[in-house]
Structure 1
């Protein structure tokens, strides 16, 4: 999408034109199925006026006995036409569904590919409800309405044109009355289009909010129960639910208002037609059969006109949904401008050189001129008060966060010169917030590019993580499901499973982010023993609030307000009686 169209106001002409092109370029990639569907729709449309034309010979010649073969010919013709229409409609709808679902497949694939490539900062915005809504509702609306628009435009337009041809053939004067009333109906429909556009956009946003509120209700159900948050959550949900109902009613009102107004125009035109037809019949210029064919064609023309009129609402829903979908697809992926790969073997030397960082809209730097080095195989602990910049510093190594100034080197190579794949292939992470997928234990331990790990390798990793005895005690062993969010495992078991995953990866550089802070003492001892095995021979950066877990680090780096204020071994820092000693004594003053 060009920059002008992307930044134009919502609903403006450049945006609408660009959205139309993007939606139908995807639909058009399945042009063979689409073309065949259109031809079948044309065949179905051709049967409709033919049914009206049959009325003239039926009434003029069939009932007076002049053509006795009409007794069987006309019924067979009607049956044949209806059967043909049914066959054509079935295959055209099947082909359109095939096109729609293939387009939907491609859109969702592109959305998920872009989702996986988004920068880490984009996920910190907490827009989960909107993201899920784009996959489930918006993507379906784009493809569903796109094929509906084609169906209605092609089939109903052909039907209207064919029926108007029948009307003109039967009586041009009566048809003129219809052609005068059609533009009036169209103008009435246009009045409601602008209203529907804004309502549909608000509905999309509120659907995302509903998804978010419901998701928080599911994930936070224990907090809601323990803190008696029923009324608060009911209030939040009721507010969003009521807004959705209001938007739905406003849409229904606009849709419903078009019908009686259109019907009124139709009634006026029918009244005029009857009056003129009676005059022509009295003059002998219009037979009963011709009038019956005219009225049969006229009766059939109202439904396709109504569907064409209502098409405006579907078009607006499609454009709003497409705007939401392509907003995700067009988001900038995380920067991966590096071209180098680390030469083997990777030693694991890490260096931070005068690194500074400030988050957008922040009043001060999160980090300021931070410099330190971790030799291969060395363990460095980052400690300090909450908000001192420890986690931000650790997140810079895998380039989840980019420094504003300074540079970070791995084996003397600036990490921004490395491809993301090469850089991250040499890093492992074990954090407080363990992420496990709803799959088996074996699949989680050998996750991702490590999926080729053998059963023996997985067992060794589980044993090193002090988890093998527990896993062997399960009915299906390592092929037991962990459940959604690993709900079937305890906190300590989840941590040790993450450690087993890191052991399988065998990366030379390890980041431990508050890996034991949420555990009880017994679980912490088990996890700490597993971590010691994991850290052996690896360059390790440890972030911990519990200072008891970092006493054995080769060097402790103390941060305060984004700057290094102290660094040294545990005993040295205690003897210096600085910030580290103050934090340590505060934690253990009751021991």
Structure 2
């Protein structure tokens, strides 16, 4: 009988969670490999530190014996030269009075050296790991396909690269340090206790299974809570980012109260999730300490009632070591929340790093394409389903031809031109450049052939010249940059800026008007001098006079280039070689301005409506 749809047993589910957490943490620790020397030095330091703990307990035995010495001489772990004389000396002889001081200074010195080596080199190692992860994350995000950014909000992506990486920092520094240092200390002390009295030590180990079960339960709960905290931090980042970037709209429409309420709710959710973590972590440590204390109480009772005490110094040393176990055990229990936070953070980072990058399997490179473009039965949907945004698009564009795409909003104009740069790949059909499918070209080489001016201008917090000569254009000489700015009618306003072309324009060019930002974007496209030019609402933010100047400049720039002009304002595309009218993802009409007006179809109606509106 089929068991399809049967949920996994609870134990299986928990086991899978444990396995997943372990895999994530081991993958995180695999980043240690290139820096194994730093790791080895830190381990040596922590081993020295942990060895000082049982040495301190043994010193207590020696000190008691030293004070009330009756012929025992120096303890067995001290070498002969430090014994202060013959170990078989008569009763009452003991080492010199300075010997305990020398021993305690030596133990503390070794402990201090070990702590420094361990802490310094493990921290250096951890921050190198975090740097490597952060850079890998950013580099990978730069090559993710456009649809990934469509599916994820910018706030949550920013949260991964900032907050989540900081969570990994804690797991890779404090957690790893405590695991090695306190873990080695517990091993050293337990070894010492077993050596001194293995039967008594077994009583202490009776609580080990209970502690292990407690740690396991707490770890699973904390990982779930940590994932929720990260998601709530993404919400906080998202709301903050939207308010900062959209503050003009917020104030214009009286949205202050709404945005404050959104942020308060997101922050409160984050507070509640964090308090659940604090509650679980805070309860975990005292419960664990009580279990160990009960075990030690039982040990003490057995030692005082059943076992015969013939060496008070050894008894004090034993229980000193047993007491010293409490602190590292407590710190090991407190490290569980840190590790689980780090695992949850690392899991989100690795999920992003495992996202497939843009497909770039082409091998063809050309110096400069001729610019012939052909769409063959091209279909496309954003979600990969049958709800096509573009449906069987067929269009043959000759090199140097100017193609205007018009139609109502949502008709697929911008989507069609975004396929040329392979920001998206068609769901069906194919696109050819100079007779070769786009997939045959190297991705960077394909994009070298296209200059793009979007309706949403993107500028960077750099100088005016740096924004025009951006990316691969950064080595362009200043005079060529000026010529591009003049061609875009941007030179006049740039010269009036405080530092001219060296003026910093602020994030997203906030110190410039919309028209000025658009002219800089056009100047950038002119400077690129690509054989294919895409103008997606390139003059939408310009006033009528500026648009007239830009239009004259663009007509000069469009010569000998294949140009796709996406526009709602029909007056900007009347002189195109061909006008493609789109509607509901299909091509409705193709022809020149005069031909389409004469046909009295969709274009004629659009033209009539807009002409009437403009009048």
Other structure's SS at 2:383 match? coil
Change (3 A) 1:40 1:345: closer
Separation in structure 1 between the aligned mates of residue 174 and residue 412 of structure 2, nearest angstrom: 53
Change (3 A) 1:125 1:181: closer
- For residue 345 of structure 1, report the CA deviation from its aligned partner: 4.9
Other structure's SS at 2:541 match? coil
Larger deviation: 82-91 or 363-372? 363-372
Aligned to 1:15: 20
- For residue 362 of structure 1, report the CA deviation from its aligned partner: 5.6
Change (3 A) 1:258 1:469: same
Aligned to 2:350: 326
Cα deviation code 1:398-449 (max 9, x no counterpart): 1122223332222222222212122111110011111111111111111111
Larger deviation: 38-47 or 529-538? 529-538
Other structure's SS at 2:406 match? strand
2:140 to 105, 114, 122: 114
- For residue 214 of structure 1, report the CA deviation from its aligned partner: 1.4
1:409 to 400, 424, 432: 432
Q: What TM-score, normalized to structure 2?
A: 0.89
Other structure's SS at 1:433 match? coil
Change (3 A) 1:18 1:185: closer
Separation in structure 1 between the aligned mates of residue 62 and residue 391 of structure 2, nearest angstrom: 93
Aligned to 1:230: 256
1:137 to 152, 158, 163: 163
**Gaps in structure 1 of 5+ consecutive residues:** 1-7
**Gaps in structure 2 of 5+ consecutive residues:** 1-11, 71-91
1:549 to 558, 572, 589: 572
Q: How many residues align?
A: 581
Matched, 1:191 2:217: yes
Change (3 A) 1:221 1:96: same
Change (3 A) 1:176 1:427: same
- For residue 470 of structure 1, report the CA deviation from its aligned partner: 2.1
Larger deviation: 61-70 or 241-250? 61-70
Aligned to 2:238: 212
Aligned to 1:558: 581
8 Å CA contact 1:379, 1:553 repeated in 2: yes
Q: What TM-score, normalized to structure 1?
A: 0.92
Matched, 1:339 2:363: yes
Change (3 A) 1:523 1:71: farther
Separation in structure 1 between the aligned mates of residue 372 and residue 182 of structure 2, nearest angstrom: 70
Aligned to 1:518: 541
Matched, 1:572 2:595: yes
1:350 to 351, 354, 373: 373
8 Å CA contact 2:179, 2:332 repeated in 1: yes
Change (3 A) 1:191 1:392: closer
Correspondences of 1:449-528 after superposition (within 5 Å): 449-528=472-551
Aligned to 2:325: 301
Change (3 A) 1:151 1:126: closer
- For residue 52 of structure 1, report the CA deviation from its aligned partner: 1.4
The CA RMSD over aligned residues, in Å, is 2.3
Cα deviation code 1:231-270 (max 9, x no counterpart): 2222222222111111111111111112222232233233
Change (3 A) 1:126 1:525: farther
Matched, 1:441 2:464: yes
Aligned to 2:311: 286
Cα deviation code 1:263-310 (max 9, x no counterpart): 3223323333333343479x54231x2232223212211011112223
8 Å CA contact 1:510, 1:538 repeated in 2: yes
Separation in structure 2 between the aligned mates of residue 488 and residue 478 of structure 1, nearest angstrom: 14
Aligned to 1:62: 67
Larger deviation: 549-558 or 23-32? 23-32
Cα deviation code 1:151-177 (max 9, x no counterpart): 233222221122223334444454333
Other structure's SS at 1:573 match? helix
